[in-house]
Amino acid sequence: MRHVIPICEVLCFLGVTAPQEIRAPQEVVAGEEASIPTTGSGKATLYLFGPGVSDKRDVSLGDDIRLPGADLQNAGQYFAVVCSSACRSASFFVSAAKPSSLTFMAHPSRVPVAEGDAISGVAIPFDKYRNLVLSPETVSFRLSAGKSSIFSRSVPAADGIAWFRAASGKSAGTLQVTASLNDLEMLRAVQQVASEPCNLRITGERNAKGILVRTEPVHDCAGNPVPDGTIVTFTATADGEKSTVDAPIKQDIARAQIAASGLAVISAASGVVMGNELRLGVR
């Protein structure tokens, strides 16, 4: 195991022993001025080390050493070493300032309606210096479609992260997902689309080319029109032979022309949903 020697021991090893004392500042906030009280008299040298900071300057013992906010913008552990005829050190922690921005991610961008735990979101607060805010903060999440609220929950952040998971709504369209913290608010949009077709029904009639078969308007179980382009597979059995035709839904209806002259039994399916069976006799 590596042995880490404190900075003050290294400096003292170079020549010095130690009468003066220093005290670490308490509850330091990023970007705010702090001070280090000292005892003793005479001149000394301050060494300040921290995240992204390395500073050296002359100070007077017996006075409070002023640490400007510009030197304390990064949250984390800091070390102050004061050396004159001896060296003394103190460590202190700089915490993030109050939240000034909110990073918010929602997933997925497109989701079927009425799906359990289908939508999730993560919100992460940062202060104006881009420090992760680790203090207890409560983020409010809301899901709404138009003027209707679908989901609302306030979530305490843990280690700077707040998240939720929720079911999608019952109507196709744009779902607005909101994360808010104090006066901060972030919006995301999730597109809700119809789920699998439900109650698929077909009709058909003979024409000069065989049989023209079509679906009734195709909806999901919540009544949302199934998107154009959804494939309906028509299967026809005639004269001991079976044939299939894949037809996309256009304006809520799928149509297919099947070449069959004798007795035909026709069925339709879309995904895992089966439709009714249609029997057409000889023309």
| CA pair distance 227, 248, nearest whole angstrom | 10
pLDDT of residue 147: 84
Place of tokens 């049989």: 211
pLDDT value of residue 199 = 85
Average pLDDT, stretch 3-20?
A: 46
pLDDT of residue 3 exceeding 80: no
pLDDT at 196: 87
pLDDT at 197 over 60: yes
List pLDDT tens digits, range 16-27: 444 468 899 988
Q: Quick one: pLDDT band at residue 246, thresholds 50, 70, 90?
A: very high
pLDDT bucket at 210, cuts 50 / 70 / 90: confident
* Exposure letters 238-250 (e unless 16+ CB within 10 A, then b): beeeeeebebebe
Please give the average per-residue pLDDT across 4-15, as a whole number: 45
Give residue 57's pLDDT band: very low, low, confident or very high (50, 70, 90).
very high
Domains and CATH numbers, the chain: 7-95 (2.60.40.1930), 101-193 (2.60.40.1930), 197-280 (2.60.40.10)
Question: Tell me, what's the pLDDT at 12?
Answer: 44
* Confidence band of 35 (pLDDT split at 50, 70, 90): very high
Residue 1 has a pLDDT of: 43
* Sequence letter at residue 56: K
Residue 81 pLDDT class (50, 70, 90 cuts): very high
DSSP element (H, E) containing 80: strand 76-83
Q: Residue 13 above 60 pLDDT?
A: no
Q: Work out the average pLDDT over 209-216.
A: 92
Average pLDDT of the segment spanning 113-138: 95
* Rounded percentage of the chain residues whose pLDDT exceeds 70: 92
State pLDDT tens for residues 159-195.
999 999 999 998 899 999 999 999 999 999 999 999 8
Residue 216, classed as helix, strand or coil, is coil
CA distances from 124 to 57, 117, 161 (A): 37, 21, 5
H or E stretch at 241: strand 241-248
In the predicted model, is pLDDT for residue 10 greater than 70?
A: no
Q: What is the dihedral sign for C-alpha 165, 167, 169, 172? A: positive
- Position 140 scores a pLDDT of 97
